[in-house]
């Protein structure tokens, strides 16, 4: 569903910058730790969001709630140890980082609101934090879907036996078509929204349990 609400779009700008920057940095950092110099040589080992943003992918994310950043280029031949395992680790790193970032942002959101809840800016601050949390949760879960070219497909490829490689290559050829069809039929929204909301409320409960002893 497209969202042309100006306030929401403005709140989503910092959310996107954080979400995409941390997601792509995680890919680059894990690849670098595994011995691949490619991300570092291309300047991707940074949290500067402007290095990672893709113009069209960013606009799609702002308006459609699903988008993408510039993919981090890696060369698995440099990976130390098992190459397939290395590819899986690099692929899953982005989503794991988004889920961790969402938790940290929600924790900061709770703490910030304790100090500004009586302020006239509290509504705007809350909206920015909420957008950032939901954006990171959405990016994290969305990218775990086993559909090419999403990270989840690379994870699936690493988990399946090598004998399935020909079938996976066939699926990969039609990945973007499958992705576009699913996006515009709102199937993703029906599948991902419950997952995002479920994790959102789980995080809320965990953070409430952590902070309650200090607020009594």
d(CA 51, CA 70): 8
* In a domain? residue 214: no
| CA neighbor of 176 nearest in space, from 38, 57, 88, 13 | 57
Q: Is 120 a catalytic residue?
A: no
First to last CA, the chain: 42
d(CA 214, CA 38): 46
* In a domain? residue 215: no
d(CA 205, CA 169): 42
* In a domain? residue 99: yes
* In a domain? residue 49: yes
**pTM for the structure as a whole:** 0.91
* In a domain? residue 102: yes
Q: How many domains does the chain have?
A: 1
Give per-residue pLDDT as tens, 26-45: 999 999 999 999 999 999 99
* In a domain? residue 128: yes
Model confidence at 216, in pLDDT bands (50, 70, 90)? low
Q: Which domain, by its residues, includes 81?
A: 6-209
Residue 174 has pLDDT above 90, yes or no: no
Which tokens hold the place of 41? 């040589």
User: Among the listed ranges 20-24, 63-67, 162-166, which one has the minimum average pLDDT value?
Assistant: 63-67
Active-site hit among 24, 32, 36, 151: 24
* In a domain? residue 216: no
* In a domain? residue 66: yes
């Amino acid at each position: 569903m497209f969202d042309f609400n100006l306030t929401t779009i403005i709140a989503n700008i910092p959310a996107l910058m954080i979400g995409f920057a941390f997601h792509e940095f995680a890919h680059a950092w894990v690849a670098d730790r595994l011995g691949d110099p490619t991300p570092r040589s291309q300047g991707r080992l940074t949290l500067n969001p402007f290095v990672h943003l893709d113009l069209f992918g960013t606009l799609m994310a702002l308006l459609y709630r699903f988008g993408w950043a510039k993919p981090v280029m890696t060369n698995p031949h440099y990976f130390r140890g098992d190459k397939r395992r290395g590819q899986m680790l690099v692929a899953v790193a982005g989503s794991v980082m988004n889920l961790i970032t969402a938790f940290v942002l929600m924790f900061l959101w709770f703490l910030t609101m304790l100090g500004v809840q009586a302020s006239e800016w509290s509504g705007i601050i809350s909206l920015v934090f909420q957008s950032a949390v939901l954006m990171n949760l959405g990016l994290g879960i969305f990218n775990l879907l086993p559909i090419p070219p999403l990270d989840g497909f690379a994870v699936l490829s690493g988990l399946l036996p090598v004998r399935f490689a020909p079938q996976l290559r066939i699926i990969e050829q039609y990945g973007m078509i499958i992705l576009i069809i699913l996006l515009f039929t709102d199937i993703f929204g029906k599948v991902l929204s419950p997952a995002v909301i479920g994790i959102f409320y789980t995080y809320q409960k965990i953070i409430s349990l952590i902070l309650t002893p200090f607020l009594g």
